[in-house]
Chain A
Amino acid sequence: MDLRLENIGHSYGDMEVMQGMDLEIPAGKRVCSVGPSGCGKSTLLRLIGGLEQPTTGRVLQIGEPPAESLNPLTFVFQDFALLPWRTVEGNISLVLEDHGIRGKQADAIISDVLARTKLTEFRKALPKQLSGGMKQRVAISRALAVNPAVMLMDEPLSALDSQTRELLMDDLVSLWTREPFTAVYVTHNLHEAVRLGHFIVVLSRRPGRIREVVAVDKPLAERELGDADLEQTQKYLWNLMREEALAADKELINV
């Protein structure tokens, strides 16, 4: 299943946050979107995932999602969004219950996704007992449980410290290499973008527009911390964004 954005524009009241965006998200690719703060990166993701309606334009789904996909467009949030009153297991079964998956069948899915995110021994833990990195792993395994056609990741690593972030990034890479999934990955961190993206969509400051789409061809498994060519791309991206970020920083916020 591919996604296509056609002439997406969005405003909150009088404030235009996004303008004339066209974008293809082909199946099997990871699209990272970067931009200065307030450029509407997260809004864009919510528009793609149907949590908000664009003021103009539309988001199209091309082709049917695979039959085993319970929730084709699935989010991973920056703040994890785990129910604090449910255990790790309960948080995952929450999203299965509505599909009538309970008992043994649910157990099997939960065991599988927990194993894939290295959480098996934390199955009965409550969110308050887990570190930030572990919480985000739970959120990722919850997303994996519904077999998404497209993962919509909204700054999934931004609430974590840089060491945890590096570890979790490695885990994301190994998850992807074992079983590729389509993803839209929003971040303000250029390093994450060059490590994880097939394409990097650079957005301008508000009102957000696509400035450039940069392809990173190197296979995911070969990308490493401190790769010279990745550094080069990161530098190029930063030069693209620098002016925008500077101007965005000086803007007054009227919301």
Chain B
Amino acid sequence: MSDSVQAKQTKPVAFRGGGFSPIHIKWVGLSVFVTLILVLEAGTRSGFISNLTMPRPSDVGWTFVELWTSGLLWKHVLPSVSRLLVGATLGASLGIGVGILIGLFSYIRAGLVPLISAIFPVPKIALLPLFVIWFGIDETSKYALIAFGTFTPTVVSTFGAVDNVDRSLIRMGQSFSLSWFSIVTKIVLPGAMPGILSGLRVSLAIAIILLVAAEMLGAEYGIGAYILQAGSLYDLERLFAGVVILSVMGVTVSAVIGFFEKRLLGWRS
């Protein structure tokens, strides 16, 4: 046996497995940001990128310093954050509530799903005039717009999540004669939580988009108003400062949801 093996050519079996499983790599994301900014800075300084094409990152930084020292930063950020908080909380909680009802009751599902599908694709910003007539020109119409925009995607992801709860766990609950209420609160809701939270990531991003849109159409202060002002003056430094604030808001929202996922979904393998 060993003779015949030696007589033949021997080589190790080539490895062809691996890959296709995302692993967590630190710092790469950050270094992409840093490199991009450094390239821009170098490009604008050397004149390779003209000042009209892209603002110089350090100038955007100075704009921030100005915003901070003049106190304008908080004057713009605070109203935006409060609009986002009120609108998104309203929309998301209503959306989760209605989504759960759709997931649990066939009649509600039959009645509401077509309606939700009908209003889902409507760009909510088109309805701002309507909200202004209904709720007035002040804050309430902005809350309503953001809430409405957050509501529909939350409903869709929530009832999807409820539908995806393992039926065998519900069967188990019934086999132990748990009450309907216990089955809903102890089996259906925790089981739907992963889907609800990942749905919130999408709906809250939509909420930020709508926040800016609403502020662009009628607000004195707010990130949207600030960006609009800067844009109409072609003041790219201020425009980008506004954009950076929005990105930070997006990252913060995502981090908050990530925190809840860690706290609430530690049981997932």
Residues of A within 8 A of B (CB): 49, 51, 71, 73-75, 77, 79, 81, 83-86, 94-95, 97-98, 126-128, 146
Contacts and interface: CB of A to CB of B under 8 A. Distances in A.
A97 B185 CA distance: 13
12 contacts: A51-B175, A73-B175, A74-B176, A77-B171, A84-B269, A85-B190, A86-B267, A94-B176, A94-B186, A95-B176, A128-B267, A128-B269
B267 A81 contact: no
Nearest to B179: A98
Interface of B: 168-169, 171-172, 174-179, 182, 186-187, 190-191, 265, 267-269
A81 B171 contact: yes
3 closest A-B pairs by CB: A81-B172, A85-B267, A128-B269
Given A49-B175, A51-B174, A95-B176, A81 B168 contact: yes
A122 to B, nearest CB: 15
Provide the main secondary structure of the chain A interface.
loop
Contacts of B176: 71, 74-75, 94-95, 98, 146
A97 B182 contact: yes
Contacts of B177: 71, 98
B168 A84 contact: no
A146 B182 CA distance: 17
Contacts of A146: 176
A75 B169 CA distance: 12
A81 B190 contact: no
Contact of A98 (B178, B265, B268): B178
Given A51-B171, A51-B174, 16 more contacts: A49-B175, A77-B172, A79-B168, A81-B169, A85-B190, A85-B267, A86-B267, A94-B186, A95-B178, A97-B186, A98-B176, A98-B182, A126-B267, A127-B267, A128-B267, A146-B176
A75 B172 contact: yes
Nearest to A73: B175
B80 to A, nearest CB: 36
A79 B168 CA distance: 8
B190 A74 contact: no
Contacts of A126: 267
User: Which of B174, B177, B269: most chain A CB closer than 10 A?
Assistant: B177
Contact of A83 (B169, B171, B175, B268): B169
Contacts of B175: 49, 51, 73-75
A146 B177 CA distance: 11
A68 to B, nearest CB: 15
A142 B217 CA distance: 59
A235 B177 CA distance: 40
Nearest to A72: B177
A59 B174 CA distance: 18
Nearest to A52: B171
Contacts of B174: 51
User: Which of B171, B172, B177, B191: most chain A CB closer than 10 A?
Assistant: B172
Contacts of A77: 168, 171-172
B178 A84 contact: no
Contacts of A83: 169, 186-187, 190
B185 to A, nearest CB: 11
Contacts of B169: 81, 83
B178 to A, nearest CB: 5
Contacts of B172: 75, 77, 81
Contacts of B171: 51, 77, 81
Nearest to B171: A51
Nearest to B175: A75
Contacts of A79: 168
Contacts of B268: 84, 128
A133 to B, nearest CB: 17
A80 to B, nearest CB: 9
A119 B187 CA distance: 23
Contacts of B182: 97-98
A84 to B, nearest CB: 5
A74 B175 CA distance: 6
Nearest to A84: B267
Contacts of A84: 267-269
Contacts of A95: 176, 178
Nearest to B177: A71
Contacts of A98: 176-179, 182
Nearest to A146: B176
A226 B175 CA distance: 35
B214 to A, nearest CB: 38
A87 B53 CA distance: 58
